[in-house]
Amino acid sequence: MAIKQKHYAVRVGREGPKIYDNWKETERVTRNYPYAQHKSFTTLELAQKYLDEHDTRTKLNESQILKRVRNQHHQTTQEEEEEEIPSETIIKKKQK
């Protein structure tokens, strides 16, 4: 029986998105790496598709994150403007 070649696609790992042809290298870049993502495939094409799908989602997520950050900044700026105390409401300390 022939041994099937596996391809290991790493989405998130120490060396970034990459395809490996052995588990030893895959484990080296993913073991104890926070939020590591990897999967094995029987063909190189499927492994590449897995990585390409991640790129599309990542770009979408980045644009959504930027939009949220801009909105939060805009809201924070408005809240700060509303919180400013008018000078006539400031009470001066009594001088002794």
Quick: pLDDT tens for 12-55: 999 989 999 999 999 999 999 998 999 999 999 999 999 998 76
Q: Would the pLDDT of 93 be above 90?
A: no
Distances (CA, A) of 73 to 40, 50, 59, 68, 81: 41, 34, 21, 8, 12
Quick: pLDDT tens for 65-78: 667 667 776 666 66
**CA 81/CA 73 separation, integer angstroms:** 12
pLDDT at position 15 is 93
User: Quick count: other Cβ atoms within 10 Å of Cβ 61?
Assistant: 10
Q: How distant is the alpha carbon of residue 22 from its chain centre?
A: 26
Edge-first strand listing for the sheet containing 7-12: 18-20, 7-12, 37-41
* Selected residue with higher pLDDT from 12 and 88: 12
Element (H, E) at 65: helix 44-83
pLDDT at position 77 is 61
* Selected residue with higher pLDDT from 26 and 84: 26
* Selected residue with higher pLDDT from 4 and 73: 4
Question: Domains of the chain by range and CATH?
Answer: 7-81 (3.40.970.10)
Query: Three-state SS for 93?
Result: coil
